[in-house]
Structure 1
Amino acid sequence: MYYKSANSWLKHWDFILLDLVMLQMAYILAFGLRNGGRNPYADPVYLRTGIVLCLADICVVFFTEGYRGILRRGYFQEFKAVAFHAAAVICTMLAYLFLTQEGHAFSRLVFIYFTAFSVLLLYTGRISWRMYLLKHKRVYYSKRSVLVMTTSDRVSQVLDTILHNTYNELYIEGVVLLDRDDLVGQQIAGVEVVCTGKKILDYIQNRWIDSVMINVDKNTRLPEAFVRECLQMGLTVHQELDTMFDSVGSQRVERFGGYSVLSTAMRLASSRQIFFKRFMDLCGGIVGCILTAILCVVLGPAIYIASPGPIFFSQIRVGQNGRRFRIYKFRSMYMDAEQRKKELMDKNEMSQFMFKVEADPRIIGSGPDGTRRGLGWFIRKTSLDEFPQFWNVLKGDMSLVGTRPPTVDEWEKYDHHHRGRMAMKPGITGLWQVSGRNEITDFEDVVRLDTEYIQTWSIGLDLRILFKTVWVVVMGVGAK
């Protein structure tokens, strides 16, 4: 899935925080200038209005596109944007004072001072921070990894345009030249030519690549099957408008790397959808971490007594589009579980892409034949082992709802279309998990369910899966 963020306010959280601070400073200065340096928050009316000020600013940010192109705007355009932002916040505050009938207790002179200070401080803060970012080529949001496909006569211009129009928000994984196989391994403008056009899908397979940028002339025709395979792998394809052709998936024309492109992906998500999903993850992650801390008190000693060693199990897993991260669980297996896994491969009920054994002797408390009993089976049956993953959710490695994150060795065996199931952040639960995960033994069915989830994703679908997860866990449906 492609998170549409090129024109989104959400990625400019640094400017959002800066504006909040500047508005509060303007509010304090305005009140202090009118009242001899007193603290506005000591007065109940001004305290409530100060809180409304923060909420008003957040609402203005959310319902407008005030940060669109903030790194590219000129000084006068920035001043107009600041004036509009300040006016919207002030009008919201005035509406609050009118509706609550507290306007009589609020000094008009404070409002005049606040208006002047807010415009001055917002403008100064934004310009100063923007100059710092541009000087140091820094951005404070997640980079996206892109692979560039072009031809030798265009490559220098394409790379130069991308590098000088994205302010370090893109990481160029490499470049593929469709007309010069002999340049593989060499560098152009500091970017390596990584493979030939015929081997691009194999190169993408096990690497962190979020999208492919295609920039070729009108006479260079790419097969539509290539775009289809990229979509199956979960990649977003950005086509410079000269190279447009019909394809499947969701499409949108946008600016990318300094070019007008047609972006095609399994699913296009708006900035507001991303915001609400992340907001759900943060709320769920906080609550989940608190519950995990409580469970540690109970499960920690029990796990250690049953099998001396760490109470947590951690492992490198593969996340969205190939990102590596460390996942955490309560340990439900003996310490040598990973070593003994090789001995049980011939009993694997799934394909080579996943591992599951009906009677797993590695689980704490199991009999030699894997008889299901003891602490380990209880932890797994009740899904208590999953709770530490709320920390992964809070960090942003995972989401509450998503797809199952594969191990590195599973990931390296994936076929091209399997990669598509990792187009979203992996989740603690997901469509596959609530569809009777232990009754599904064909990995292609897992891929089908995960792909269906990504293509039909919505906040409503996430909520339905979360509610169904609670039901499945409580009733023990599909748990073994």
Structure 2
Amino acid sequence: MYKKENNSWLKHIDFVILDILCLQLAFILAYEIRVAKGIPYLNPLYENMAFVLVIFQLLVSFFGESFSGVLRRGFLIEMKCMIEHEICVMLLAVLYLFMSQQGVMYSRGAFTIMCTLYFFIAYAARIGWKKVIRSRKFAEGEKRSILIITTDAEAANVVKALRGDSYGTYHLAGVALLDKNKTGSMIQSVPVVAGADDVTAYIHKNWVDEVFFALPEHVDIPKKIMKDCNRMGVVTHVQLAALNELGKNQVVEEIAGYMVLSSSINIVSSWQLLVKRLMDIAGGLVGCIFTGIIYIFIAPIMKVKSPGPVFFSQVRMGKNGKPFKIYKFRSMYMDAEERKKELMEKNNIKDGLMFKMDDDPRIIKRIGHFIRKTSLDEFPQFWNILKGDMSLVGTRPPTMDEWDKYELHHRRRLAIKPGLTGMWQVSGRSEITDFEEVVELDTKYIEQWSIGLDIKILFKTVTVVFTGSGAK
């Protein structure tokens, strides 16, 4: 699933907040200089004005797209955009004063000073903040891993462009050359990881969020590679001059100066992802509180029944194959992972692509069965949700050995963050023993995703847990 960058004010919410703070600072200084010493928010007339200025700034930022392409602007273009933004906000402010019949009482001098100060303060703040963004190194977890598929002649230029114009957005996973075999070599410190014959295999088994086809006009994109990316649910970007074949969901956008047509299993807006993330943060906070309470009761019993750590951690494969460490309350004996190999022949899921077994002997008697039946062992995953590794609703994250057995179309179910619950879990998961059916349900969830669907699944999950049909 891919985020459509259409709401620039949400994409650059930091600039929106910075502008609001700058205008409020100019507002306070103007009041101090022209009206009276003290705090303007204690004066009802100016208090109302301060509030409506924030509203007008948000409206102009949203409908006027004041921050579209803000990171690519030069000094003069930024000045022009700053002037246009300020004129819109101030015209709305004047209209408000006129319609509310407060213009006579409001100091014209204070208004003029505020406009002047706001321009210089906000312009300097925008330029300064862009320099901060350019210089800071984003945490690896915030980046998107992108694989460049290009030719030997184009590779250096594409790498340079992505590095110089992405502002730390991307982790360059590597370069795949279609016309030469240079696997193992480096292009501007970025490794060549594959050629035309093994690029699909590399994407299949490594952390790749997006693939960028940057090819000259005379080189066609291999249909098989494009189809394989689509089957795996990997976001693809195609330079428009080299457009060949894409999936059904596309959006035109710009990457590092290249106009591309991006395709994904589902394309959603920044606003939708913001709401989903806010839901995750709220749920994660509440869940972590309950996890602490549950720990107080479970820990002493666990120490008696099976000495060892109360929490269990394991590396799982997250969105687009990015590994992360998942946390649970331990419900099995300490040698559970070693014994799993011996029990594989009793696995209810064929092909070993998941492990599910009735009356699993590795589960700690009584306490282990209780916390698994009530799904209490899942509560520590709220920490994963709060960190951003997981979401409240998503798809089940596979173990590394399960991931190694995935075929191309299986990878499609990891085109979204793994979740604490999901469509498969609330669709009779205890009866489903065919992994292909699991993939079908997960893919259906990703293709039809919406905030409303997440809420529906969350309510169904509560029902599933209380009826005792919750399985792992």
Same fold (TM over 0.5): yes
What corresponds to 1:28 in structure 2? 28
Asked if 1:388 corresponds to 2:380, the answer is yes
Alignment of 1:399-478 (within 5 A): 399-477=391-469
Displacement of 1:50:
4.6
> 2:149: which partner in 1?
149
After TM superposition, the structure 1 stretch with the greater mean CA deviation from structure 2, 448-457 or 251-260, is 251-260
The CA deviation at 1:226 is 2.1
Distance in 2 (alpha carbons) for counterparts of 1:26 and 1:16 = 16
Contact 1:436–1:478 (CA<8 Å) still a contact in 2? no
- Structure 2 CA distance, aligned partners of 1:303 and 1:45? 63
Equivalent position of 2:171 in the other structure: 171
Aligned to 1:233: 232
Point out where structure 2 has 5 or more consecutive residues left out of the alignment.
none
Report the equivalent of 1:370: none
Structure 1: distance between partners of 2:403 and 2:386: 24
SS across alignment from 1:414: coil
What's 1:214 paired with? Answer: 213
**1:32 & 1:213 partners in 2: Cα distance?**
53
SS at match of 1:133: helix
> What does 1:80-229 align with in structure 2 at a 5 Å threshold?
80-87=80-87, 109-134=109-134, 136=135, 138=137, 142-181=142-181, 183-229=182-228
Q: For residue 466 of structure 1, what is the amino acid of its counterpart?
A: L
Paired residues in the alignment total 470
**Local SS of the residue matching 1:217:** coil
The one of 383, 388, 397 equivalent to 2:389 is 397
1:244 maps to 2:236: no
Taking structure 1 as reference, are residues 473 and 100 closer, same or farther at Cα in structure 2, changes over 3 Å only?
farther
Q: CA deviation at 1:451?
A: 0.9
Structure 1 residues 412, 60: closer, same or farther in 2, change over 3 A? farther
Q: Secondary structure at the match of 2:279?
A: helix
Percent identity reads 48
Structure 1 residue 466, shift from structure 2 partner = 1.5
Q: Which amino acid aligns with 1:408?
A: M
Deviates more, 1:103-112 or 1:418-427: 103-112
Task: Measure, in 2, the Cα distance between the counterparts of 1:458 and 1:165.
Answer: 31
Single out whichever of 149-158 and 437-446 deviates more from structure 2: 149-158
Amino acid at match of 1:465: I
Residue of structure 1 equivalent to 2:361: 361
Cα RMSD over matched residues? 2.9
Where in structure 2 are the equivalents of 1:241-320 lying within 5 Å?
241-320=240-319
Give, in angstroms, the shift of residue 51 of structure 1: 5.5
CA offset digits 1:40-60 (Å, max 9, x no partner): 345566566655655554555
How many Å apart are 1:69 and its aligned residue? Answer: 1.0
TM-score normalized by structure 2? 0.89
Q: Given the two structures, how large is their TM-score scaled by the length of structure 1?
A: 0.88
Q: Structure 1 235/49 Cα, relative in aligned 2: closer, same or farther at 3 Å?
A: same
Does the 8 A contact of 2:213 with 2:221 survive in 1?
A: no
CA–CA distance in structure 2, aligned partners of residues 436 and 157 of structure 1? 51
Deviations, residues 133-170 of structure 1 (Å, cap 9, x unaligned): 33x26558932211111222322333333333323322
What is the letter of the counterpart of residue 467 of structure 1?
Answer: F
Kindly indicate whether the alpha-carbon contact (under 8 Å) linking 2:6 and 2:270 is maintained by their aligned counterparts in 1. Answer: no
Secondary structure of the residue aligned to 1:149 is strand
- C-alpha distance in 2, partners of 1:343/1:263? 45
CA distance in 2, matches of 1:64, 1:469: 41
Q: What is the alpha-carbon distance in structure 2 between the residues aligned to residue 62 and residue 299 of structure 1?
A: 49
Following superposition, the deviation at residue 101 of structure 1 comes to 8.7
Asked if the contact 1:6/1:256 (under 8 Å) is kept, the reply is: no
Distance 1:127 1:375 in 2: 59
